[in-house]
Structure 1
Amino acid sequence: MQKPQPDFETVLDSMTAPADALVVPAPFPIDRLQLDLVDRMEDIEADWRRLEALPQNSLHHAYDWCKAWHQAQQTPLLLVRGRIDGRTVMILPLEAARENGAVIARFIAIRFNNYNTGLLDEDFRFLDAEALQGLRIKLAMLLKGKADLVTLGTMPLLWRDIAHPFTGLYAIEDANHTFQMPLLSSFEQALAQVNAKRRRKKFRVQERRLLERGGYEHVIATTDREKQDILSLFFQQKAARFKQHGLPDVFRPAEIKTFFRNLIAVQPNGHDIPLELHAIRLKGEDDGKIAAISGLSRKGDHVICQFGSIDDTLAPEASPGELLFWLMIKRASEQGVAIFDFGIGDQLYKRSWCTVETVTHQLLLPITVRGWLMMVMLAARTRAKVAIKKRPPLYRFIQKIRRRGQAPQPAPAEND
């Protein structure tokens, strides 16, 4: 059963409840907030790393994640810094891109981010209507001449029962939702959410079939060579999978491959890991061959599956991709992880594991007339996608047309 997601108005209502039902924080001192643009990430690295360590901030806005993307892409940065009395309380890691004649400021690496928050200080929790309007004006003044439209995409207005401070800005629902599995206090309790008896039986059948072929091992890449080899194999497996389904390969551009190679080179910081590669390596008749690969990121007690691939010519009867999820989720549970996140994209295998579906939004702030026009276009396009995906027969029909040879369209960076 999925956890119901409050809509935009419900989140707003929860922030304006009667005084006897909610302790309202003191108004945010928006008049003291000073914004400026920073040219280089290195110039604010210390503040960046301090803010990224706070649990409410997304792992996708970590310094090393954004640095890996910028080194690969070299897109113009628009790093918005907010300070109060000289202390940095906000960083919006944005980059500029031209689209349809307009310059749009988006979060760094947005195409491969599963959820975004911005980097906000722990006291940056509640913005009333006056503070939001003040922030909107300050951002528009700062970015005038730099961008036509600011779009803060893939943002949950409510994450782990905490409303995002920017809730109240103009928002449209994203077409693709994200899916999570709470791991509770033990792996057994986590399994109980998704029919533990059926899951255990399925795992035993998958494992028996692989053992009959000679066995397998769960590999977690540790050496640089092993990481590079497995990542290269993932690109190959994913390309074959996209081709098989008539979809564009979002991992094909050289700069995208460079981004992920940069990420796996970053050393873990305790339990926090930008990208960790897991695989099922076969023994016996297919000795040394890799049947399934997944890339995981972790921050604190939150693990996100960034991507996955399978070689469907290797032991397809054993569903090695499904087996790998079992092993990764069990390991995460034993390590004290609270949430195993399957990321963006509605797929049957995600729903079979997950009990929580999270709705994310795009927050839009037009700066110029051209930006207003782009906002209208983006809003209409996104709402059309949402409407289509809520009608499965229509969605399947459109997918079928695309596979029959229509011009490839940009595909979402899903981990399936």
Structure 2
Amino acid sequence: MSNITVTTDLASIEKAWRSFEMYAASTPFQTFEWLNAWYSVIGSVSNVTPAIVCGSNEDGSMAFILPLAVERLSGSRRLVFLGRDLSDYNAPLLAPDFDPGTSARDWWKRVHDTVQQASGCHHDLVFLDKMPERVGEQPNPLSALPTRLNPSHAYATGLNGDWDSFYAAKRSSHARRNDRRKFRHLQNEGVVSFRTASEHGEIRDTLDILFNQKARSFERMGVPDLFEKPGVAEFFRQIAIKAPDLIHVSRLEVGSACVAANLGLVAQNTYYSVLISHVDGPLSRHSPGTFHQHDLMRHAMARGCDVFDFTIGDEPFKRDWADAIYNLHDHLAAVTPLGVAVAIVTSARLQAKRFIKQTPRLWLWASRARAGLGSLLIYLKTGKPMPKKASKIDE
């Protein structure tokens, strides 16, 4: 690898980036479209400076692109992945013949030194999170760094054969009978139909329903509403309209009512399920989210996808379908004395979170306590009790 450069201007590298991603090993969360939309709506107004690292081979061809950024947080500056907060996987884009050289750690040292010396990219701490062990068929060179396991896993299943045989192989006869019973109840409420949103107005309407349904779900779980954060809802609206080849927005309707909604990504023969939601109230008893999930996998098969990736998160329904569980890794390293203090606090927080999430009894208690608080807040706000849960996928 002959040359490593850093740029803080996404526009200056757009052409090379788009060309490289056509054949590089990557995830859709590192496409120029995704990250440029994130930066234009969120990063540019959030004290974030892009630090896009590019490496070239001796013949001038691109070897890798590593989309990093420097963000200011609590008086410190930390080096992170660009768009990390809304990306389920963070990784470099790698050429098919990528070779880090003598060792992956030496490669990273050279990358890091280049970033630290670049104008506007000085930082106190390095925090690289949600890193998969592989990028496409290649080992992720960043996995060679000292890492700890992320508190959450990711899940995926291979899409083999036709839907009927796949469904029968994945679900027990008892589960299939239960599904048929619930689907009949759903049909009694109106015609059940799966729709892909393609027109701009329909995309916006579907996403607004998704945001509203997710907000109610977050409220029931007692967690902050993701879509109340500045720019988040607008980011998803923009990327869904600007990148129709990457983004798939769909809804499940019963009659004229949208009872479940979805935003997914399609790239390299894989369907990535990113945002899913469902209606609450009486119809939730019939598990509309479950049947929308079935339709999404059927849709992925029809598009020629070989893999359905449920992405990050340990929801029980993912385990029911998955035949692959991915470990994700976090790297944390102090660079300056201030970074040491921040790293100690960050490390303690991450360790506690992982310990709770990976200890079933503690996670159950924590989830119940959080949901109980959410239920109390709903009652105080509306005077109505929280709706009962329907099924695992509809939680």
TM-score, normalised by the number of residues in structure 1: 0.82
Cα drift, residue 193 of structure 1: 4.3
Equivalent residue for 1:77? Answer: 50
Q: Which amino acid aligns with 1:132?
A: R
Write the mapping of 1:106-255 to structure 2, written as runs, cut at 5 A: 106-125=80-99, 128-129=102-103, 131-144=104-117, 146-158=122-134, 162-195=138-171, 197-255=173-231
Cα contact 1:125–1:164 (8 A) shared by 2: no
Equivalent residue for 1:377? Answer: 345
Cα contact 1:35–1:142 (8 A) shared by 2: no
Equivalent residue for 1:322? Answer: 290
- Greater shift, 309-318 or 62-71, is seen at 309-318
Cα drift, residue 189 of structure 1: 4.6
Q: Which amino acid aligns with 1:117?
A: A
Alpha-carbon separation, structure 2, partners of 1:189 and 1:52:
34
Q: Which amino acid aligns with 2:352?
A: A
Is 1:281 the counterpart of 2:257 in the alignment? no
Q: Which runs of 5+ in 2 are unaligned?
A: 378-393
- Greater shift, 203-212 or 371-380, is seen at 371-380
Alpha-carbon separation, structure 2, partners of 1:396 and 1:196:
26
1:160/1:200 CA distance change after superposition, 3 Å? farther
Cα contact 1:35–1:139 (8 A) shared by 2: no
- Higher normalized helix content (fraction of residues): 2
Cα contact 1:143–1:367 (8 A) shared by 2: no
Cα contact 2:101–2:107 (8 A) shared by 1: no
Cα deviation per residue 1:144-171 (whole Å; 9 max; x = unaligned)? 4622222222111136664212331121
Cα contact 2:218–2:225 (8 A) shared by 1: yes
Cα deviation per residue 1:253-310 (whole Å; 9 max; x = unaligned)? 24111110111112434xxx2x211111111xxxx11111111111021111111111
Cα contact 1:187–1:334 (8 A) shared by 2: no
Cα drift, residue 224 of structure 1: 0.4
Write the mapping of 1:39-54 to structure 2, written as runs, cut at 5 A: 39-54=8-23
Cα drift, residue 212 of structure 1: 1.6
SS at match of 1:209: helix
Which of 302, 320, 323 is matched with 2:270 structurally?
Answer: 302
SS at match of 2:198: coil
- Greater shift, 55-64 or 76-85, is seen at 76-85
Cα drift, residue 125 of structure 1: 4.8
Cα drift, residue 127 of structure 1: 5.1
SS at match of 2:304: coil
RMSD of Structure 2 on Structure 1 (CA): 2.5
Cα contact 2:213–2:280 (8 A) shared by 1: no
Is 1:268 the counterpart of 2:240 in the alignment? no
Is 1:389 the counterpart of 2:389 in the alignment? no
TM-score, normalised by the number of residues in structure 2: 0.86
Cα drift, residue 402 of structure 1: 4.1
Cα contact 2:152–2:314 (8 A) shared by 1: yes
1:81/1:158 CA distance change after superposition, 3 Å? closer
Is 1:37 the counterpart of 2:9 in the alignment? no
Comparing both chains, which one has the higher relative contact order based on Cα–Cα distances under 8 Å and sequence gaps of 6 or more? 1
Alpha-carbon separation, structure 2, partners of 1:391 and 1:335:
38
Alpha-carbon separation, structure 2, partners of 1:51 and 1:375:
34
Which of 316, 327, 331 is matched with 1:348 structurally?
Answer: 316
Cα contact 1:209–1:317 (8 A) shared by 2: no
Cα deviation per residue 1:334-386 (whole Å; 9 max; x = unaligned)? 32211111121111121122222111001334432333443343333222222
1:371/1:184 CA distance change after superposition, 3 Å? farther
Equivalent residue for 1:339? Answer: 307
Q: Which runs of 5+ in 1 are unaligned?
A: 1-28, 409-414
- Greater shift, 395-404 or 89-98, is seen at 395-404
Identity %: 24
Alpha-carbon separation, structure 1, partners of 2:329 and 2:306:
23
Runs of 4+ in 1 over 6 A off after TM superposition: none
Alpha-carbon separation, structure 1, partners of 2:342 and 2:211:
34
Q: Which amino acid aligns with 1:346?
A: D
Aligned residues, how many? 370
Alpha-carbon separation, structure 1, partners of 2:283 and 2:373:
30
Cα contact 2:70–2:78 (8 A) shared by 1: yes
